Structure 1
């Protein structure tokens, strides 16, 4: 089976998280949406459809994978917003002939071959695939979960942490022999704790899996007296600092540094919240740094539904708890105070103790009452410095992506007095 993952117009609902990546590269649980889809479907080959400006970087990150084209004569297209599970995967794999898979009227997947595939691929990529001219396609109703906004990923995190733990620990158990767990560390419900290779768990640290599984990746350092409550995932190379309180339903991607209090949040990868402060019900993109004392609100004083500005529109989340959505390379200075449901665009640099607006355009610099445009060349240079510290090279394609996003968001900063 040849698998093609595609984005649709709803991918813009995930901005600013999807400026630098396709929607299916967002994390939920222990895996990205793409990793989970591929793990369940086990395709022989893969194609990725993305917005055209992302294609150069996506090609670099996925060598040998077709981007925005399909060479196979038979293909299963799956929406990149799908939270794949075993039951849905069986339905998609077992279906015969050309099929359109719908859940509540929403497109989940489509299997096409021959002339139908040629017709679907004949137009320039815009939304996803062109189904206007395909014929003799069977409609199949399926039960599927499609995420629509960033908080959907945060709220799905609890179930996916548990599901991914079962999916990824079938052939492993317990603590890898090369890891060191101090005798004064406490592991509760130890059978639901996995600790990877060359990981260190310090004295007085508590890993409490009574509320859900805990998966600790390779090369993690859990400092003394840190507390981790399951379900939780800590990715390879991350650090959980002294006295940290990491509550359940939290995913911490690779090479993050985490301290203070974190609850029900996703840190994608390579981001720091290593000092005191609170982060709750939030999604943090890569390369973000939250300064010492930064605190995010995740609940209104009225206990009402949180309204969030997404892609220029105010959306009622229908949720009482929604925290910060921070795009790539966001920096918040010491003692930053962030309001409920705040969205900060990529490469923004905020400082001061006043509460900033709830929607911050990309490439913003300054205090709550005095935001200016952050020079794109300076921003790109700082990003390169930060990434090089983690041995990640900034390619020319990545630097061009920075500049493109700056131009793409220029109208959002039209009222700045630079």
Structure 2
């Protein structure tokens, strides 16, 4: 029996991040959704996504499958119910499908299964802004999941700890020197070969994943997640960088999510609060209009491979697509389509040959190949997003 992590109709809700990967491959907390389910279940899972992603993220359902809603946090009560499902049964909370066991179907409304109810509290991730607004809960969940029964590497005496030092965990090869670490609001997890450079001030929760770095004098407010091999400096508050992305210099990033292979130039700043303190609206690909987030604080949502030049200023609630290159003075508009080149004064189309040169160069710096699967995905996204550029 295969375990499939499905989006249950939420794929378009999480654009632009899901243009380039299945929903289960997004990161919040310390882990991706797939990594979290695999750790909780002790079994390998496959991530379901659109057909054009299958080259990089293969997924082939079997004659019998355990199909799970990818963006649920697997609480003990939920795991017990899932493990107890028999073939031909589905688990629901009210009208929301959580999981089922049986043959794969493309649409949940095609299911002809026996309904079982789940009435315990659930931790839902249903909108892209849930990624940062519920990140503290995910960090605490993952911290317990990853550190249970294990011992941290020793923390250097050069550091100052506020709060419980037992809520700081260093994996093998992690380095932290001459920094202030505050665990009063959440745990601090430092992955293998990750580094917090001297003079940094960290208020948890923090997930600093494998090979990631906090630059000298960084000021980090949690809950924040910096995925594998990210480089982060300046001031950051409640943000996620999913992996291989850089905000290496001064400037403010708050209540934001950046995909992979993004770069924010020196002194790039994001607004996360409107001047009139009104709730933030955010571009919603699923509805084709700006959606009410219900949040007073909401900054930047940036898809994979996008870049911002030095001194770029982003308005409150800005959405940037995949492989956009933003630069120049003034505030760019708060929805920037994929493969856009320009800024406040206007945009032209960022041609794929130039975009691919940049992607190949950046990935090579991290020892990762820009292969045919990556190229094919971005070419597909270029075609899919053309209407937004016209």
**TM-score bucket of the superposed structures, by smaller chain:** over 0.9
Q: Deviations over 1:297-329 (max 9, x none)?
A: 111122221111121221100111111000011
SS at match of 1:146: coil
Q: Which runs of 5+ in 1 are unaligned?
A: 60-66, 122-127
CA deviation after TM superposition for structure 1 residue 175, in Å = 1.9
For the residues of structure 1 that align with 2:101 and 2:223, how far apart are their CA atoms?
Answer: 34
Deviations 1:316-374 (A, max 9, x none): 00111111000011111111110111000111111112000000000000121221100
- TM normalised by structure 2 equals 0.95
1:86-110 per-position Cα deviation (integer Å, ceiling 9, x unaligned): 2211111123442221223111111
Verify the 8 A CA contact 1:33 1:84 in the aligned structure 2.
Answer: no
Q: Residue in 1 aligned with 2:30?
A: 30
Alpha-carbon distance in 2 for matches of 1:141, 1:229:
36
Match of 1:53 in 2: 52
Instruction: Tell me, yes or no, if structure 1 residue 80 matches structure 2 residue 70.
Output: yes
- Partner in structure 2 of residue 224 of structure 1: 198
Q: SS of the residue aligned with 1:167?
A: helix
What root-mean-square deviation, in Å, do the aligned CA atoms of Structure 1 and Structure 2 show?
1.7
Is 1:304 aligned to 2:278, yes or no? yes
Question: Does 1:251 pair with 2:225?
Answer: yes
CA contact (8 A) 2:198 2:217 kept: yes
Aligned equivalents of 1:276, 1:292: Cα separation in 2: 6
1-structure distance, mates of 2:173, 2:370: 28
When residues 212 and 47 of structure 1 are mapped into structure 2, their CA distance, relative to the original with a 3 A threshold, is closer
Deviation of the 1:275 alpha carbon: 0.6
The question of whether the paired residues in 2 share the 8 Å contact of 1:23 and 1:80 is answered with yes
Secondary structure of 1:301's aligned partner:
coil
Aligned to 2:19: 19
Q: CA deviation at 1:161?
A: 0.8
Count of matched residue pairs: 386
1:397 and 2:373 matched = yes
Say which is worse superposed, 394-403 or 90-99, in terms of deviation: 90-99
For 1:162, what is the secondary structure of its paired residue? Answer: helix
**1:92-107 counterparts in 2 under 5 A?**
92-107=82-97
| Partner Cα separation in structure 2 for residue 223 and residue 46 of structure 1 | 36
Partner of 1:413: 389
Aligned counterparts, 1:323-362, within 5 A: 323-362=299-338
Q: 1:237 aligns with which of 200, 208, 211?
A: 211
Partners of 2:34 and 2:45 within 8 A in 1 = no
Shift of 1:148: 1.9
Residue 257 to residue 47, structure 1, CA distance change in 2 (3 Å) = closer
Q: Deviations over 1:114-170 (max 9, x none)?
A: xxx2xx54xxxxxx34653635x2332344333221111111101111111111101
User: In structure 2, what is the Cα distance between the partners aligned to 1:130 and 1:394?
Assistant: 35
Of the candidates 112, 129, 133, which is equivalent to residue 151 of structure 1? 129
